[in-house]
């Protein structure tokens, strides 16, 4: 009998088999390296340069950032982001939670109602913006409808009103996303063991008490998730503004995302566009990184 073993595959094929997983994964890794990390680096680099119409690699330190922050449109954009963001998140949470609690009460037609609250998420922001733009049209939409019902003094021209226009974005945004928040809360509510509620009842707690002291605290992780996702959506929201108000009237509904787009593609200020994009990324990171970090920590903590 021959001493030693006979390899069953020639060397090259063996190497291929052993490394196949890594080879298969590499296009995606390469794509991620280039198109995600590489591009972020590129844009960040551009934000430190003098680029206007075309990239130009003269480094000018934080000049572009200063220019952005001193720009009146950016200041409106930031103010809008806060106003819009807090209202958007707050209202989505409130309405989402309310709807979830209502739906959890063993309602007939629960499935149909859920489908109704959720369908706006399936629509493009452009479609949503178009629809609401039409509904909030001062002459032909909601205003006209209510006036037609007899309330002739009713005005609803927010959409063309500089001060109020951003709130129309809130309305359309909340309409679209609150169904999603509802779905999250509903799943959370369903995950609460009935027996806990029964025990609380036997302890003498009334229904509102039970919700406040037991149910809501148990939903805290969902609150956190929802806030993170909504904040993420708010920062990214671009299409909604474009379709609803076009950034207007004037630039009353400007948001960082529209600011970035306009300065990059229309106003030939690549440096400023890049700087604003970097700041958007930093804002998103400031929210996501602590959240993900705490998620991963708790995932490594479970009892074994």
CA 12, distance to chain mean position in Å, is 48
Residue 301's contacts (CB-CB under 8 Å, 6 or more residues apart) are none
Q: Which is nearer to other proteins, 55 or 90 (CB)?
A: 55
Q: Does 206 bind other proteins (CB under 8 A)?
A: yes
| Stretch near other proteins under the rule CB under 8 A, chosen from 66-74, 76-84, 121-129, 157-165 | 121-129
Give the separation between CA 174 and CA 126, rounded to whole angstroms: 15
The residue within the footprint of other proteins, chosen from 15, 29, 155, 212 (CB under 8 A), is 29
The residue within the footprint of other proteins, chosen from 48, 257, 262, 272 (CB under 8 A), is 257
DSSP string spanning 155-190?
---GGG-TTTHHHHHHHHHHHHHHHHHHHHHHHHHH
Q: Does 243 bind other proteins (CB under 8 A)?
A: yes
| Stretch near other proteins under the rule CB under 8 A, chosen from 60-68, 77-85, 123-131, 161-169 | 123-131
Q: Does 131 bind other proteins (CB under 8 A)?
A: yes
The answer to whether 280 and 260 have CB atoms below 8 angstroms apart is yes
| Nearest-10 Cα torsion for 269, 271, 275, 281 | 90
Q: Does 59 bind other proteins (CB under 8 A)?
A: no
- Hey, which residues between 80 and 109 contact other proteins (CB under 8 A)? 95, 98-99, 102-107
The answer to whether 220 and 268 have CB atoms below 8 angstroms apart is no
Q: Does 123 bind other proteins (CB under 8 A)?
A: yes
Q: Which residues does residue 300 pair with via DSSP β-bridges, in sequence order?
A: none
Residue 3's contacts (CB-CB under 8 Å, 6 or more residues apart) are none
Q: Which is nearer to other proteins, 7 or 72 (CB)?
A: 7
Q: What is the pattern of x (binds other proteins, CB under 8 A) and - over residues 132-151?
A: xxxx----xxx-xx--x---
Q: Does 216 bind other proteins (CB under 8 A)?
A: no
Q: Does 7 bind other proteins (CB under 8 A)?
A: yes
Q: Which is nearer to other proteins, 75 or 221 (CB)?
A: 221
């Amino acid at each position: 009998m021959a001493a030693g073993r006979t390899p069953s595959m020639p060397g090259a094929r063996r190497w291929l088999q052993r490394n196949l997983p890594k080879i298969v994964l590499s296009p995606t890794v390469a794509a991620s390296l280039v198109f995600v990390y590489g591009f972020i680096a590129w844009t960040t680099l551009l934000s430190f340069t003098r680029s206007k119409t075309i990239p130009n690699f003269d480094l000018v330190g934080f000049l572009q950032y200063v220019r952005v922050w001193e720009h009146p449109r950016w200041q409106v954009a930031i103010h809008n982001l806060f106003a819009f963001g807090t209202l958007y998140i707050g209202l989505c949470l409130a309405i989402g939670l309310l709807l979830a609690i209502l739906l959890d009460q063993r309602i007939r037609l629960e499935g149909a109602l859920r489908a109704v609250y959720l369908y706006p998420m399936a629509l493009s922001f452009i479609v949503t913006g178009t629809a609401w733009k039409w509904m909030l049209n001062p002459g032909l939409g909601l205003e006209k409808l209510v006036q037609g019902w007899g309330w002739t003094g009713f005005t609803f021209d927010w959409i063309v009103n500089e001060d109020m226009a951003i709130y129309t974005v809130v309305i359309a945004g909340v309409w679209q996303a609150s169904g999603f928040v509802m779905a999250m809360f509903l799943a959370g509510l369903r995950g609460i063991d009935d027996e806990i509620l029964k025990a609380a009842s036997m302890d003498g707690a009334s229904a509102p008490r039970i919700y406040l002291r037991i149910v809501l605290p148990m939903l805290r992780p969902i609150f956190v998730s929802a806030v993170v996702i909504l904040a993420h959506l708010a920062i990214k929201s671009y299409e909604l503004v474009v379709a609803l108000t076009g950034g207007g009237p004037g630039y009353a509904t400007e948001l960082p995302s529209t600011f970035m787009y306009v300065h990059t593609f229309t106003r030939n200020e690549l440096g400023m566009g890049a700087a604003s994009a970097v700041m958007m990324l930093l804002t998103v990171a400031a929210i996501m990184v602590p959240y993900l970090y705490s998620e991963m920590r708790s995932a490594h903590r479970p009892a074994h």
